[in-house]
Structure 1
Amino acid sequence: MNFFDDVGIMAIGTRLRMLSEKVTEDAAKIYQMYDVDLKPKWFPVFYILSNTETRSITALADNIGHSHPSVSKIVREMIKAGIATEKKDKTDKRKNNIQLSDHGRKIAIRIEEQYTDVEKAIEEILNQSKNNLWNAIEEFEFLLNQQSILQRVKENKKQREAKKVTIAPYETKHHDFFKRLNEEWITTYFKMEEADRKALDHPKEYILDKGGHILVALYNNEPVGVCALIKMNDANYDFELAKMAVSPIAKGKGIGWLLGEAVIQKSKSLGAKKLYLESNTVLKPAINLYQKLGFKKVMGHSTPYERCNIQMELILH
């Protein structure tokens, strides 16, 4: 069995690592063949220094796209091997400038023939290849800079798990969950207030009987999130989005986004023109969610909550 044929493209990291190890092994033997006293991992730093007078470690790291600690370690190894030297910057004594030693300069001259032969060998491989690996790597790096593999996997995970989520109307059996989930986040950051107790202790009388609605997010048929749509006696707004909460066990599954979208669609179906909400800027994930849903900051409305320091609205089209 060929491992990569069996596993497929998700093993790209393993395959690239094995390819890198194979190329690095050959590179070490090539240095020996040309009697060049270098290690393959030193090459990026060596090449930059061989084409300039001096560089700081920070500048070297920026030039080759490595971390500062990684470059610092390579420089120390090169200094120990007598290939590089360091000296204090004349204008900034806190900064050390790195340059090639006399021995390093001699290597830089001797290695030119190796460069010529290696470049020709790589060109032969690329020309013999159906797909140009160098160009493919460049394109792949460009795409990863736009969105990393980690970010793409997170998004796919959300999309897959979202398929297991259903948004259902509130039922009496959901009361304890609705109350407990909201009490948990409120008491974690703030204190319970009178308006909280009215809505959480008596959701039927305070929300539903007055023309409001409560939606419940179910993940594998278990409640994991809630959000209320409270009817407002306000000429400017139809409903208030309130009491949104997601269970800690369901974080990262996009439940808040699904609830928010469902509440907005519910509002539209009821003929609403504007939605209103109140929050606190300490709740950064919640504020980010509201902004992504399209809510904009507004000012000047009276509020029954001491914790409210930001008000937002959404104009429905």
Structure 2
Amino acid sequence: MKLFERTGKMALGSRLRLMTAKLTDDAAKIYELYEVEFSPKWFPVFFVLSEDGEKTITEIANEIGHSQPSVSKIIQEMTAAGLVQENRESTDKRRNVAALTNKGIDISQKIKVQCGDVDAAVESIISEARHNLWEAIEEWEFLLEQKSLLRRVQEQKKLRESKDVQIVPYEEQYQTAFRSLNEEWISTYFQMEEADYKALDNPNEYILEKGGKIFVALYNNEPVGVCALIKMNDPDYDFELAKMAVSPKIQGKNIGWLLGQAVVNAAKDLGATKIYLESNTALKPAINLYQKLGFIKVVGRSTPYERCNIQMELNLSNQSKSQFIK
């Protein structure tokens, strides 16, 4: 169909629905061909009952991957058609047990003959086609179970939008943004502390002049994220990753990841072997980001911040700079 040549993969769902509609229409006519009064949508529920015997609504729903209300509606329709009886010989009326009636059992025998012909017909299509749709569907189901189409689109959206983000070195013109972005997120979850004011009000004195660096994320030339690499006077660590903040109005564009990459790569360029950071486990997206960058939890260090309840480190000797260029 030329429409789908024009729409491309955007219309995947519409194309599958159109194929499903064609197959369902043919399925209804196939039941008529075998003189079976049966709705195609009943088949998964009917198949389970014919193969496994009586089942509860919940058991059927779990077996075929449908919702319980959907299965209940199908059971009601098949009951009206005389194919299914609910709660037969069930002493517990709270358990909605369904089983095939004698009529349903007779129909199942007819459908088994029909299924043999349908299987052969489908096999003939597979033999004529260049691709095995049946195997492809199974593979797609597995892949979408691992990561949904929605999540994949979200990732592509992030990737595309992140191309409009620039990571630049700190300049005096970004001092207000450096302070306000950090103050915004800290005040949202915690309280500003003395150590915050020192670094945010005097980034040159407390960060840059001591051998550290600050990076700024620009989106449409506006500063929307910041992160600092602070030189540490510590025998175990060379630098601390700190003061990372991204505007909540612009999140979802991989800005935190890009800032983290810039800081880690800068530390490598400066010959660092280990980076340290402090955070709070309530900030789950931040913790996930740090883990993605390669940080692991450490314990037993003192901190000037009351809000800190997790400390992490990144051993740079275990990584190459190319790992962060994706």
Q: What interval of TM-score do these two structures reach, taking the shorter chain for normalisation?
A: over 0.9
Q: Distance in 2 between matches of 1:183 and 1:294?
A: 26
Query: 2:152 matched to 1:160?
Result: no
- 2:116 corresponds in structure 1 to 116
Deviation at 1:93, TM superposition (A): 5.9
TM-score by length of 2: 0.90
What letter matches 2:7 in structure 1?
A: V
Tell me the residue number matched to 1:213: 213
Q: CA deviation at 1:75?
A: 1.9
1:76 lines up with 2:76 in the alignment: yes
Measure the CA separation in 2 of the matches of 1:88 and 1:307: 61
Counterpart residue number, 1:148: 148
Separation in structure 1 between the aligned mates of residue 89 and residue 308 of structure 2, nearest angstrom: 53
> What is the Cα deviation at residue 221 of structure 1?
2.3
Match of residue 291 from structure 1: 291
Unaligned 5+ segments in structure 1 are none
Q: Is the 8 A contact 2:56 2:95 kept in 1?
A: yes
Residue aligned with 2:304, SS: coil
Residues 225 and 46 of structure 1: CA distance in aligned 2, closer, same or farther (over 3 Å): same
Which residue of 2 is the match for residue 57 of structure 1? 57
- Contact residue 232 and residue 238 of structure 1 kept, 8 A: yes
Matches within 5 A, 1:213-232: 213-232=213-232
Unaligned regions of 5+ residues in structure 2, if any?
A: 318-326
**Aligned pairs, number:** 317
Q: TM-score, normalised by structure 1?
A: 0.93
1:257-302: per-residue Cα shift (whole Å, max 9, x none)? 1111110111111111211111111111111111111111111211
Distance 1:242 1:40 in 2: 60
Shift of 1:227: 0.3
Are 1:89 and 1:95, in contact at CA under 8 Å, matched by a contact in 2? no
What is the letter of the counterpart of residue 306 of structure 1? E
**Contact 2:88/2:99 (<8 A) preserved:** no
Partner of 2:172: 172
**Pair 1:273-2:273 in alignment:** yes
Give 1:167 shift.
Answer: 1.1
Aligned CA distance change for structure 1 residues 210 and 130 (closer, same or farther; 3 Å): closer
8 Å CA contact retained: 2:239, 2:267 = yes
Kindly provide the amino acid, as one letter, of the partner of residue 295 in structure 1. F
Contact 1:228 1:242 in 2 (8 A): yes
Map of 2:190 onto structure 1: 190
More displaced stretch, 251-260 vs 158-167 = 158-167
Whole-angstrom CA distance in 1 between matches of 2:88 and 2:259: 59
SS of the equivalent of 2:52 reads: coil
Q: Verify: 1:139 aligned to 2:123, yes or no.
A: no
> Matches of 2:176 and 2:73 in 1, distance apart?
58
